[in-house]
Amino acid sequence: MKKILFIEDRPLRQAQYFTEAELSALKAISGLLFPAGDDCRIIIDKINKEELEVDQLIALVVAHRSAFSAQGLLFLVQMTEKREIDLILFSGGSNQLNYTAGKRQFLSMNSNQIYKKELSALFNEYTDQEGFPLLKFQYGDNYELELFLKYRLLQTKLSLEEDEDLRDLIELKIEPFETAIRRFDPQPEKFNQTIEYKIAAL
């Protein structure tokens, strides 16, 4: 069975989003490693010292970005990439989609998006399914439609914008959406047809 390593150095944040019963249910998920207290601090320290060796069954690491030093964060990103382990980094200061997919998936998201009522169900789905799209953690079951709609909105803004500097900024925002769309639709140029089809299917 696939395992998930969840690294959170601020346990009080969990209490802001979950009841005690919900948090207990989350921690009881088979395959979810949820270190707390000293155990969590030891793992963070090992990452910052570039010494962490993860279980061979770990398929996904979910971690609070600010828990690590710059060196530790780089180590975590490179280690998970080398081992082809999916990685989700969350932070209260992250408000823009950052998603890449190759031999492994990487997703950067805001803390209030990772801590939602569906988290237990999403973790269970991830451990049970092959090829589970990390974008479900961000957008839910309608993640494909959400991506297409946001992509279309940015393309419209780009077509109307005349300032070159602002166009460059919009193009940077478009890139991760194109990456995500190509993961399940290799022809993003046909996104208008796909949008209409998905809306009709709702």
pLDDT, one tens digit per residue, over 27-66 is 889 899 999 889 999 999 999 999 998 888 999 999 999 9
| pLDDT tens figures, 77-95 | 999 999 999 999 998 876 7
Proportion of the chain in helix, strand, coil states, percent, rounded to 5? 60, 15, 25
pLDDT classification of 73: cutoffs 50, 70, 90: very high
- Of 3.30.2320, 1.10.10, 3.40.50, 1.10.357, which CATH number belongs to 3-132? 3.40.50
pLDDT digits (tens, 9 = 90+) for 4-26: 999 999 888 888 888 888 888 88
User: Could you tell me where the DSSP H helices lie in 83-163?
Assistant: 111-114, 119-128, 135-139, 143-160
Comparing 75 with 199, the larger pLDDT belongs to 75
Q: Which of 59-73, 86-100, 183-197 has the lowest mean pLDDT?
A: 183-197
pLDDT at 186 over 70: no
Q: Could you please report the per-residue DSSP string of 67-132?
A: GS-HHHHHHHHHHHHHTT-EEEEEETT--S-EEEESSSEEEEEEHHHHSSTTHHHHHHHHHH-SS-
* Least confident stretch, 29-33, 109-113, 139-143, 164-168: 139-143
| From-to residues of CATH 3.40.50 in the chain | 3-132
What is the percentage of the chain residues whose pLDDT exceeds 70?
A: 90
Partners of 98 in the beta sheet? 108
- The pLDDT of residue 193 is 72
Query: What is the mean predicted confidence (pLDDT) over 118-127?
Result: 92
- 100 vs 43, higher pLDDT: 43
DSSP 90: E
Tokens 């828990």 belong to which residue?
67
| pLDDT(190) > 80 | no
pLDDT at position 52 is 93
**CA 106 to CA 177: how far, in whole Å?**
13
Quick one: pLDDT at residue 198? 64
Whole-number percent of the chain with pLDDT over 90: 38
CA distance 96 to 48: 25
Q: Is residue 184 over pLDDT 70?
A: no
